[in-house]
Chains A and B, each alone.
Chain A
């Protein structure tokens, strides 16, 4: 495929969602204007855009605060999740200990623990938020990577045995590459989840410097357009995390990338 044709195809792919987005904002704008909706109920997109510009510095600051918390939580969660997944693959006891816990935690709204953590650690600390993000990320990553390390195709396992491959060789040449796609599946879920967790944690207390806190405080002051501007910031942050995960996947797994491109 030539570069020009490729570019044209990509543009065409992008046109549909962009067109939809523009249409949606236009309808929103017209609806608010025609029905004279009060700005503290539903602000106009153009007003939100204005606030986004007017508060750019403040929003950037809040994005950096929440984004840093999400990033630290994400990295800690990934490292811990991958490490424990390897341990679980090696020691059955770890697996039996952590797997039921992972299932239980994924069914609970453990974010509420954040309020306890503020009391426990410090109300002015970012640690509770990072910890919450890390915990959520940990379980997503652990469950998927553990699955990828253990659920190897039966034929491939027998093949490696027929080659008299050692456990280390099987780990390096089969289990780890097999777990890689599971890892990135987890990452694409965990990365935006880390952002959500980081800023939802702000709802439960602590410093009023992140996106979550700014959204609530502006809503309670009836500055809805500003709150929406922060929501836009939160969306961009989530997209940034997701997009980076997708790029990392393409880089790490070129064979998958070629599959997607088709």
Chain B
């Protein structure tokens, strides 16, 4: 049997431990994600969903517990560049053309120029931006920039894609379009995705599994399996979709009294 794409065991994260401003961001998180799965992490601000994603990415270290990615410690996975990452801000580099932005992770992996060019072109076709290869990021709309960021995250065809509210800054129409594209891309490339969002419909539409998190300290409140089959525009109006949306919403409501408390830290 192949190793899980992500395995989080008994993870706790405390920021500023032992200081006056100590914050317990995550408590005793267990989460296993199998290859090819698309899992959403959803919860109110300060529930630690972004923190959990950063732990998986090994951008921060857990206070307790272990994180394994592709069966190896998260830090090793980061060093091996086992995952691609996309954030709410596209994080594109102003001074690089669209193509050059996508090539950046490939440069760092030591790919030669011709191979980089070819791969960037293929990725641009994937996100349907082939005509914009030589444009600079600021010449593109927000939605297009985000597509470039996703193309960059996918550039070295990682088996795992970590996304932190990548469509958060987009308008609703673009957002829905991007969601469908992401599903298409993942089906095509068989990529595992961990997707942080605070939009319930987005989580339900995208995922095989929605992980509902509760705030302060962040824990997993519910895990809801979703099977919407092949998704298209009608999916968003199907009764099964609404049933799942309601289920997630009720899981989130379960700790509404907690939500009224002061917000946790936003560690982005």
- Residue numbers of A with Cβ under 8 A of B are 153-156, 158-159, 161-165, 169, 173-174, 177, 180-181, 253, 255, 258-259
Chain B residues whose C-beta falls within 8 Å of the C-beta of A161 in the assembled complex: 59, 78
In the complex where A164-B78, A165-B108 touch, is A177 in contact with B95 (Cβ < 8 A)?
yes
Question: Do A174 and B93 touch across chains, with their CB atoms under 8 A apart?
Answer: yes
- Residue numbers of B with Cβ under 8 A of A are 54, 57, 59, 78-81, 83-85, 87-91, 93-97, 104-105, 107-108, 136, 138, 162, 268
A-B contact list, 7 entries, CB within 8 Å: A155-B88, A158-B54, A161-B59, A163-B108, A164-B79, A174-B93, A258-B136
Q: Which of chain A's residues has its CB closest to B90's CB?
A: A155
What distance in Å separates the Cβ of A246 from its nearest Cβ neighbour in chain B? 18
Question: Do B95 and A153 touch across chains, with their CB atoms under 8 A apart?
Answer: no
Smallest CB-CB A-B distances: 3 pairs = A155-B91, A155-B89, A162-B85
Question: Which of A155, A173, A180 sits near B104, CB closer than 8 Å?
Answer: A173
Q: How far is the CA of A159 from the CA of B84 in the complex (A)?
A: 9
Tell me what chain B mostly uses at the interface: helix, strand, loop, or mixed.
loop
Q: Which of chain A's residues has its CB closest to B87's CB?
A: A155
Question: Which of B81, B90, B107, B268 sits near A164, CB closer than 8 Å?
Answer: B81
In the complex where A161-B59, A162-B57, A173-B104 touch, is A156 in contact with B91 (Cβ < 8 A)?
yes
Tell me what chain A mostly uses at the interface: helix, strand, loop, or mixed.
helix
In the complex where A159-B85, A177-B95 touch, is A169 in contact with B108 (Cβ < 8 A)?
yes
Question: Which of B90, B91, B95 sits near A180, CB closer than 8 Å?
Answer: B95
Chain B residues whose C-beta falls within 8 Å of the C-beta of A169 in the assembled complex: 108
Q: How far is the CA of A243 from the CA of B59 in the complex (A)?
A: 44
What distance in Å separates the Cβ of A183 from its nearest Cβ neighbour in chain B? 13
Q: How far is the CA of A180 from the CA of B84 in the complex (A)?
A: 28
Q: How far is the CA of A169 from the CA of B94 in the complex (A)?
A: 17
> Quick one: which of A153, A180, A253, A255 has the most chain B CB within 10 A?
A255
In the complex where A163-B108, A164-B78, A258-B136 touch, is A158 in contact with B95 (Cβ < 8 A)?
no
Question: Do A158 and B105 touch across chains, with their CB atoms under 8 A apart?
Answer: no
Q: Which of chain A's residues has its CB closest to B137's CB?
A: A255
Chain A residues whose C-beta falls within 8 Å of the C-beta of B94 in the assembled complex: 177, 181, 255
Question: Do A163 and B93 touch across chains, with their CB atoms under 8 A apart?
Answer: no
In the complex where A162-B78, A165-B108, A173-B104 touch, is A156 in contact with B93 (Cβ < 8 A)?
yes
Chain B residues whose C-beta falls within 8 Å of the C-beta of A174 in the assembled complex: 93
Q: Which of chain B's residues has its CB closest to A162's CB?
A: B85
Question: Do B105 and A163 touch across chains, with their CB atoms under 8 A apart?
Answer: yes
Chain B residues whose C-beta falls within 8 Å of the C-beta of A158 in the assembled complex: 54, 57, 59, 85, 87, 91
